[in-house]
Amino acid sequence: LFNFTETHSVVFQPATVNEQRFEELIFEMPQDNIVELQEVFRWRLSVNDSRVRINPDTQIVRLDNQDVFSIGFRELTVTIGEGENASLTIKQIGGETAGVGIGGFPEDRLSPVRLRHVPGNATIDSDFSLNTTVPGLTYRPNNTLNDIPFEPITSFEDNIIEGNEILRVIIVPGGDNAVQVQSGIQTATITIIDDDTGVLSLERGTYDVIENEGTVEICAVLTGGVLSTDTEITIQAEDNTARFRSDYSTHGIHSVLRSFTNKTCGRFNITNDLISEQLLENCTIAIIGIFPENSGLKIDQSPTFIRIQDDDQAEVRFAMGQATFSEGGGNQSITVILGGAQLSQSEDVEVYIDDGTTNGTSLGFVTFGTGAIPQNRTVVFPVVDNNIALEPDKHYLLRLRNIGSIGLGNPETMNVTVEDEDVTQKLPEDVIVQCYSSAADCTTNTNGVSLAAIDCCNRTGGGYISHSSLNVVAQCGACIVVGFDQTRVHIGPSDAGRRYSFTADVLLSTPGAPTNEVRDLCWNISREPATLVDVADYLRTPVFSGQTDAFLPKRFNLQYLSYGNELALQPTLSIHYTIAPSSGESIPSGVVLVYNHLSITIDDIDIMSVGLELQCFPFVEGSTAVAVIRRKLIEYEAPFEVTVSLGKFRNPYLFTAVGEFDNFNFTEQHSVVFHPEYQFDQHFERVTFLMSQDNIVELQEVFQWRLTVNDSRVRINPNTQIVRLDNRDVFRVGFKDLHVTIREGQVATLTIKQIGNETGGVDIGGFPQNHLQPVQLVHISGTATNGSDFLLNSTVPRLTYSANNTLNDMSFTPIISIDDSIIEGDETIRVIILSNGNNVLQIPRDQRTATIAIIDDDTGVLSLERRTYDVIENEGTVEICAVLTGGVLPTDTEITLQARDNTAVCIGDYSTLRIRPTLHSFANRACGRFRIRNDLISEQLFENFTVAITDIFPVNNRLTVDRSPSFIRIQDDDQAEVRFAMGQTTFSEGGGNQSITVILGGAQLSQSEDVEVYIDDGITKGTLLGFVTFSTGAIPQNRTVVFPVVDDNIALEPDKLYLLRLRNIGNIGLGNPETMNVTVEDDDVVDVFLERRSYDVIENQTSIKICVVLTKGFLSTPMNINIFDAQGTAKYQFDYIFFNFHVILPPYKNSTCVTLYIVNDNIKETLYEEMHMYIFRVIPWNKNLHVDYTWSTVRIQDDDN
């Protein structure tokens, strides 16, 4: 792109000679989009006036490359699967080429780039491996850069279900300034698709559980992979044929699946409701959610069945297996008991007499409802008195039918015996009779009273009996009591070891009655039963078996055991003794015999006891309260029925508030039968009362269970028990607003409200307002920090009642955000409310958490501290600072400062391409240093490059990054100096031309320079000696010019002094010595002497010339010569006269003469007389002047005769 025909001109005008000392010409250096080495060209100078010298006429110019290869990632986002390699490609962005030929940028000088990992949510060495080495850059045939495909990242197949992960890598440039990485495509994001999927499901499709097992374990299993973090799994139940609370009591569980495991379990509570229902009922359970969520995890939300097998078999049975009724006792009740378990629907059961016919004789139906068990129902057994005496006992077998799904308990049949009680002329002692004081009164019956027969006989004023059962109704017989001295004797465990005696005799009689006649009769004492079994289990002595021919009085005895056989409730041993006249004996007329029978009942000495098991924990509304009846662990033979009834308990001294018993039925009672057939399993029994739930939050209620038993042999200990019923109704509260937004410095208002419609009760049973404990507010998470971003007051005001006893909404301001001038972006706070040990408050999971968003209105600007940084080259580094204004940052932030060439170029003038200083949290200034190269090259005084903020990490959307570049201006301190090799020198005139050495030192030149050496002779430009050219090479550099020395053969010249100077040095400095004094000494030697050594003269010649001769050269100046005479034999004035003792030798003459006058004295004298001439002084004198001071002799020849 260079135009080598381009010229520019400038004119120097005489009118501006003082101001126009120099002119500048500008050539535009084209940018050719070619990355190349430094280019060199030259400027050539020409002038339109031949009288103007050009020195130098050319100058070498160097042009640095400004074009760079811009590179970046071809694909900024790459997606791979686990176990795969990520292929990245670095490509050239622009169309720059590398040039061709010698000027092209060599491929082998392209520094390789490398990769740097920027953290994402994928972890190096656990999720992937990274090779940061990048293949070298190479050229295409067209000298652009080849694409560089490479695979630096290998993801790991880890079988962990963790969702897709990302990692980021950036291209870090090498050390040369020919390659530049574009910031917009410097970063590649690699997404690792997690193909590790998993299915979270319930372990089984159906869980079978028997009702009395209490709980069922439900397990969730993970198949396909594992999870890297603990995961909370929510499993929730839904009603089907089984109902919440009545059949199961756990609505949901939150089970934690630990990291890297594949199974977690929890338990659902099954209600043992003691209700006979369909054999199998079920509810469904399903996984409804997990926390935290995982996109790679599939949740199988298909419901699974919990199938509850009902073990509560309702049983219907007779209350007792046998009963004996007297014919005259009238209709009797037959009790049928429903036990075992409650019914799920009403059932009608028929009671009938099995008389051998097909259907038997129905006694009627009993209906059992769905209420609590046991349930007692009765039917009537008709007994008809036919007044026929001495009939055999009538026996009936009772059975049950139409029992549906109810089982038959024990006894499942009942034997009924109806005894004939019709007698003649004899009465039992306890029959009620009309008693009269005389026989006459029997007719009139005026003062008759109704008494027992034995009481009538005991009347001292007469005891005449009239009774309808006697053969003659109107007969009024005298009373004689015949029998035993004891009528009814009951022997029980408290009588252990006791001995009993019995006597049969005439006990009482009406005054005047034939007592002796009666006593003299032969009597038959009979025993029922005639045969006794297991008597040894009751008595230590044999049992009197009776006598057919006994005479009164008759005595016998027995003794009770002292200890038992560990078998309780053996049948009571009943021994009945009756007395009657023996066959053939006749009773005196007018006598009514009242028989005093003896009935001995002997109970089992082994005691059976029952009691209510102590309830340590209160029951809860809406549940079934189970009373546990526990018997003594001893063997027993007879069934017995225990009844638990529900009763009020009022004792203000024990309980200040006992609730209101809403919906309670205090007439409710339930029975259970302990049967010896099940004695090894039936150690205890349960009866169930349904505790109603009333939707009223109240205090604990207190009632009592009372225990009764149908067998007097069974002891009850204790017979009552206090039962506490805890309130199950709760106030459900939660946040009214789950999301609240405030700005920094504002207060967050939260409101807690009641969710349902429960009330607090009224009067004594209501839950007191002052017992409501405040809820607890807890900070759990969020990006905001307590104490620095906000202040939390965890105190929550107490809850209060409204007029209708529901809870008032309660607003409070627990959070004050702090206006902190920290640029941190919007932040969140998550708080939860927790029940503070208060069981009447319940906080639903979905309304217990409030999220407060704090809008961060703090903004800031990150910029370079100065627009220009000045640095001297030899300082080595320059500190560049980024400053943050407007606020501070809460975390350390890495700032990337990138340099770009301008007149200063990387490597040549500076060596740091980028720095990444860290702006520490809460600071507002971060600095780093760029290295400046001290290149020892003399360049233009100031060069510069630019620095700008190109990136920050982490990114903050509230922070404005000022990317405007700042200039780093480098002052060149490498002042090249040009000087003379010496400050002065002396040359001899005859030495010929000499060399003057000029030295370049201090620093290298950035371009060649031509320096002119001249003699400053006082005129404008002086005398040019010549030019010396200094190149860009190493220093020092020596150059020489010729100093001409001319030998003019002129002697005695003064030294010639020359002042040498340098000019046209450009921006090169002058060193020391900056001038040079050159002295040229005259080395022409001349001899001055008298022309002759002797002169001969005849006296009559008058005069003679004495000449001074200059040989070997000339003088350029006159020479003053003093010639003196000296007398010898010839005398001054007599023989000669000499006037000119001072002569001048003119310039460029080689002789001068003086006249010596001879005196012709006409006196004959010696033939020859002598005098002397000599050079006395020569001015000027010079070392090169050789004067011959030798005398010359003048011999005067006397011519006088």
Q: How far is CA 1195 from each of CA 8, 339, 771, 1128, 1136, rounded to the nearest angstrom? A: 87, 196, 168, 10, 11
At residue 1166, the 3 state secondary structure works out as coil
Quick one: pLDDT at residue 474?
45
- Amino acid in the structure at residue 486: Q
Percent of the chain with pLDDT over 90: 26
Quick one: pLDDT at residue 424?
45
Most confident stretch, 19-33, 434-448, 687-701, 1096-1110: 1096-1110
Region 132-155 average pLDDT: 89
Q: Is 882 exposed, middle or buried (0-12, 13-18, 19+ CB in 10 A)?
A: buried
81 near 70, Cβ under 8 Å? no
Distance CA 980, CA 802 (A): 109
Determine the distance from the C-alpha atom of residue 536 to the mean position of all C-alpha atoms in its chain, rounded to a whole number: 81
Distance CA 965, CA 974 (A): 27
Q: In sequence order, what are the residues at sequence separation of 6 or more whose Cβ sits closer than 8 angstroms to the Cβ of residue 598?
A: 483, 484, 486, 487, 488, 489, 502, 504, 575, 576, 577
Q: Give me the domains of the chain, ranges plus CATH numbers.
A: 69-193 (2.60.40.2030), 198-309 (2.60.40.2030), 315-419 (2.60.40.2030), 426-602 (2.60.40.10), 608-721 (2.60.40.2030), 731-855 (2.60.40.2030), 860-971 (2.60.40.2030), 977-1081 (2.60.40.2030), 1086-1197 (2.60.40.2030)
Percent of the chain with pLDDT over 70: 95
At residue 158, the 3 state secondary structure works out as coil
Q: Read off the pLDDT of residues 1126-1164 as tens digits, 9 standing for 90 and up.
A: 888 888 888 888 887 788 989 888 899 998 888 888 888
435 near 448, Cβ under 8 Å? yes
Q: Is the pLDDT of residue 949 over 90?
A: yes
At residue 846, the 3 state secondary structure works out as helix
Quick one: pLDDT at residue 577?
92
Confidence (pTM)? 0.42
Predicted confidence band at 894 (pLDDT cuts at 50, 70, 90)?
Answer: very high
Q: Read off the pLDDT of residues 977-1008 as tens digits, 9 standing for 90 and up.
A: 888 988 889 888 888 889 899 988 877 777 88
Q: Of residues 739 and 1067, which shows the higher confidence score? A: 739
H or E element that contains 517: helix 515-519
Q: How far is CA 945 from each of CA 71, 94, 238, rounded to the nearest angstrom? A: 21, 22, 74
Which DSSP letter does residue 587 get? P
Q: In sequence order, what are the residues at sequence separation of 6 or more whose Cβ sits closer than 8 angstroms to the Cβ of residue 147?
A: 74, 89, 90, 91, 92
Q: Is the pLDDT of residue 803 over 50?
A: yes
Determine phi and psi for 516, rounding to 5 degrees.
-65, -35
Region 828-849 average pLDDT: 84
| DSSP string computed for 397-456 | EEEEE--TTPEE-SS-SEEEEEE----SSEEETTSEEEEESSTTHHHH-SS-EEEEHHHH
State the pairing for strand pair 69-73/85-92.
antiparallel
In 249-295 the beta strands, taken as DSSP E runs, fall at 252-257, 263-269, 275-276, 280-291
Cα–Cα–Cα angle for 940, 944, 946, nearest 5°? 170
| DSSP string computed for 875-909 | G-EEEEEEEEESSB-SS-EEEEEEEE-SSS-BTTT
At residue 763, the 3 state secondary structure works out as helix
Q: What is the 3-state secondary structure (H, E, C) of 467-485?
A: CCCCCCCCCCEEEEEEEEC
68 near 99, Cβ under 8 Å? no
Q: Is 110 exposed, middle or buried (0-12, 13-18, 19+ CB in 10 A)?
A: buried
Q: How far is CA 1138 from each of CA 151, 1068, 1127, 1190, rounded to the nearest angstrom? A: 121, 69, 11, 18
Distance CA 864, CA 860 (A): 13
At residue 765, the 3 state secondary structure works out as helix
Q: In sequence order, what are the residues at sequence separation of 6 or more whose Cβ sits closer than 8 angstroms to the Cβ of residue 149?
A: 87, 88, 89
Distance CA 844, CA 664 (A): 29
**Nearest alpha carbon to residue 398 among 373, 418, 422, 384:** 418
Q: Read off the pLDDT of residues 1084-1126 as tens digits, 9 standing for 90 and up.
A: 888 999 989 899 999 888 889 999 998 888 888 898 999 988 8
Region 508-530 average pLDDT: 88
State the pairing for strand pair 720-726/701-709.
antiparallel
Q: Is the pLDDT of residue 495 over 70?
A: yes
Reading the block at residue 174, the tokens are 């090498």
526 near 504, Cβ under 8 Å? no
Q: In sequence order, what are the residues at sequence separation of 6 or more whose Cβ sits closer than 8 angstroms to the Cβ of residue 1020?
A: none
- Amino acid in the structure at residue 964: S
Edge-to-edge strand ranges of the sheet holding 608-612: 684-690, 624-631, 608-612, 714-716
**Nearest alpha carbon to residue 1100 among 1171, 1157, 1138, 1169:** 1157
**Nearest alpha carbon to residue 286 among 334, 235, 355, 241:** 235
Distance CA 444, CA 437 (A): 12
Region 1036-1065 average pLDDT: 86
Reading the block at residue 934, the tokens are 């001290």
Q: Is the pLDDT of residue 922 over 80?
A: yes
608 near 631, Cβ under 8 Å? yes
Cα–Cα–Cα angle for 1186, 1190, 1196, nearest 5°? 140
Quick one: pLDDT at residue 391?
65
Distance CA 807, CA 759 (A): 8
Reading the block at residue 566, the tokens are 């560990």
Q: How far is CA 8 from each of CA 53, 59, 818, rounded to the nearest angstrom? A: 19, 15, 69
Q: What is the 3-state secondary structure (H, E, C) of 769-827?
A: HHHCCCCEEEEEECCCCECCCEEECCCCCCCCECCCCCECCEEEEEEEECCCCECCCCE
Q: How far is CA 973 from each of CA 874, 910, 948, rounded to the nearest angstrom? A: 7, 14, 25
Quick one: pLDDT at residue 218?
93
Q: Of residues 474 and 1085, which shows the higher confidence score? A: 1085
Distance CA 752, CA 758 (A): 15
Quick one: pLDDT at residue 657?
43
321 near 415, Cβ under 8 Å? yes
Q: In sequence order, what are the residues at sequence separation of 6 or more whose Cβ sits closer than 8 angstroms to the Cβ of residue 68?
A: 35, 96, 177, 178, 179, 180, 901
Give first-to-last CA distance, the chain, whole Å: 115
Half-sphere exposure of 72 (CA within 13 A, CB side): 16
Half-sphere exposure of 118 (CA within 13 A, CB side): 16
Quick one: pLDDT at residue 656?
43
Distance CA 910, CA 638 (A): 113
118 near 132, Cβ under 8 Å? no
Q: Read off the pLDDT of residues 641-661 as tens digits, 9 standing for 90 and up.
A: 999 998 877 665 555 444 455
| DSSP string computed for 951-1009 | EEES--TTEEE----EEEEEEP----EEEES-SEEEEEGGG--EEEEEEEESSEESS-E
H or E element that contains 518: helix 515-519
Reading the block at residue 62, the tokens are 């160097």
Region 653-672 average pLDDT: 65
Q: In sequence order, what are the residues at sequence separation of 6 or more whose Cβ sits closer than 8 angstroms to the Cβ of residue 906?
A: 176, 177, 899, 913, 945
At residue 873, the 3 state secondary structure works out as helix
Distance CA 970, CA 1006 (A): 15
